[in-house]
Amino acid sequence: MTYVIDGMNTPIAVVGDAMFAGSMGGGMVSFSEALKNNREKILTLSDQTVLCPGHGPLTTVGQEKVHNPFFPEFK
């Protein structure tokens, strides 16, 4: 589950354990569904969206499109 907060200068998505800076969450039920979910629901947010993972540093959608090895199709 991800909470998207807009209405501020910079949109924020609290992604919890769905994904991390440069990495990927485990997908409690299905890893392939977790990848699909992140591709379709998180990485389609604007590049400026700040992602707040449950572990590790903050990142942005734009940074993950360039640097996250689990999603090479966005490079």
Binding site for Fe ion (CB under 5 A): 17, 54
| Least Cβ distance, residue 37 to Fe ion (angstroms) | 16
Q: Tally Cβ neighbours within 10 Å of residue 3.
A: 10
* Beta carbon nearer to Fe ion, 27 or 62: 27
* Beta carbon nearer to Fe ion, 26 or 69: 26
Length of the chain: 75
Q: Tally Cβ neighbours within 10 Å of residue 68.
A: 21
* Beta carbon nearer to Fe ion, 54 or 56: 54
| Least Cβ distance, residue 25 to Fe ion (angstroms) | 8
Instruction: Give the single-character DSSP code of 2.
Output: -
Which H helix or E strand runs over 62? helix 61-67
| Least Cβ distance, residue 30 to Fe ion (angstroms) | 17
